[in-house]
Amino acid sequence: MMTSPTSIDDLNIDLLGNIVGRLPAVHFASADCVSRSWNRACRRVLSRPKLSSACSFNPDLEVAVESVVNKVLSVPIRPHFAIASVCREIDFPRAHQLITEKLGSNVPVITNCSRGVIGRDAISDEFDEWEDYDRTGAIIMLMVGYLPGIKVKTIPLMKPSQFVKEITAFSTSISGCISPAAIIMFSKHQGCVVTAAMEKMDHIMSPETVIVGDYQCQFQHTIGRNCDAVALVFVMDRNKPPGIGETQFHAALSSGLLPIGHAYKVTHVKDNGFQTWLIARREGSQELLDANTIWNLAYEDPGVPIELRVYFGLEKDGRMTSFAFHEFFGDNAESLRVGGIGIKKGDNLRLYRPDSTTALSSIANVSNQMRTFKQGRTSGGDKWEVFGGLIFNSCDRGKFVHGQPNVDSSPFLDNFPGVTLGGTFCFGEVGRGYIKDSQEQKLRHCCLHASSAVYLIMSYRP
């Protein structure tokens, strides 16, 4: 008895899904259009979120972009967003143009000018934290993400009130809630517009909204409008298709700043929209804080580096206590010049300097937090899977400070081996909604950090 030949359409959906799940993104997209059975198999493959990342150090920009794009698209993925970090010697507007052309105009892409990148080499698969002084030529990190059940939109910051209004309106239209799940921000400086926007978001958005990013960089984005900052906004879709699980965003913070000296109170303030001149006195006395006092406090330890940055930690009293770090620029004057604005008369001030011992202790603490987080996510009937991460790492840290590579990445690598991780070196880190120790449960928010490593962790429950 003769039997009719078996066609590929006769394969059961599990086997077909196994086949199409091995295809690169471009071929996977073609397979999705073959037939209804193939479409069902492809939908099953794309029912789970995915993050894909790669780095390249090829001196030829076009070849470097080709390399990272090919690598991130070597797996079945339909990019919902892309983040590219390129180091300062590169023509990063050209890099942004090339990446956007490769991924397509419908994919929200943000390209930032970085001090270094974190991730795996597209050719060797070697993981490292590459800072821009390590190499010459092109240094690029590209990350693309597919998040079913999440809507993603790029929103530029033109005016603080309009920016926050656009974010809350987008979130409300998709989720029914004014607070998005997460925001990844890139801003040019800690000026009045950005500071006001951050304070407004921190005030009105749920504590569960995670906000991370780089607040002092150049950037390009697909919308193209010139703006002070841009945000990738992630919102839970209340109308997500059946069978799609839940994605969550979490953050952790490793601080590398050591407090020095006494507490002071700001008595006079003047700013120009980007920097602030202030006078501060020691609480309970008439002792004035001047530049010489600051440097003497900062350099009292003979082991500190010569080119040391000093930061003012400004604490604001109000309905909710908030905290922000501002860099001190060292003018020899009674009036002290610091980066950023938003400082007011009566704010409490404390000096901080980068400290490697503090950073290492904080890294160990973050690793323990991630371990506890992982155990809590994988125990019981409700099992979550961490599928990706992103690090915004201070250029005050890295192997130059720690004396060995990949120290700042180690909490994630040790706890989630094999999971996609990418990152960028910053000169100012945004971090809100991070995991805290039970000892740190204080009514104090800090969104703008310095000498820190901010970790974004993404998890999924089917």
What's 241's DSSP letter?
A: P
pTM greater than the 0.85 cutoff:
yes
CB contact set of 208 (below 8 Å; sequence gap of 6+): 179, 181, 433
Written as six digits, the tokens of 249 are 């965003």
Q: What is the pLDDT of residue 320?
A: 44
Q: What is the pLDDT of residue 145?
A: 95
Q: What is the pLDDT of residue 71?
A: 94
> How many CB atoms neighbour CB 59 within 10 A?
10
With 0-12 / 13-18 / 19 or more C-beta atoms within 10 angstroms meaning exposed / middle / buried, residue 415 is buried
Of the candidates 361, 19, 391, the one whose C-alpha atom is nearest the C-alpha of residue 184 is 391
Q: What is the pLDDT of residue 138?
A: 63
Return d(Cα 213, Cα 40) in angstroms, integer. Answer: 37
What's 9's DSSP letter?
A: G
CB contact set of 70 (below 8 Å; sequence gap of 6+): 122
Characterize 4-32 residue by residue with b for buried, 16 or more Cβ atoms within 10 angstroms of its Cβ, and e for exposed.
Answer: eeeeeeebeeeebbeebbebebeebeebb
CB contact set of 285 (below 8 Å; sequence gap of 6+): none
Phi, psi of 371 (to 5 degrees): -65, -45
pLDDT by 10-residue block (mean), the chain, 462 residues: 48 63 64 66 74 92 94 89 87 91 92 93 93 72 95 93 95 97 90 81 90 92 86 96 90 90 88 87 82 78 62 64 77 77 86 90 94 81 88 89 91 96 93 58 66 95 88
Q: What angle do CA 38, 39, 44 make, to 5 degrees?
A: 95
Q: What is the pLDDT of residue 102?
A: 93
Return d(Cα 228, Cα 212) in angstroms, integer. Answer: 16
Pairing of strands 257-271, 275-282: antiparallel
Q: Which domains does the chain have, with CATH numbers?
A: 14-45 (no CATH), 48-179+239-256+356-462 (no CATH), 257-354 (2.40.30)
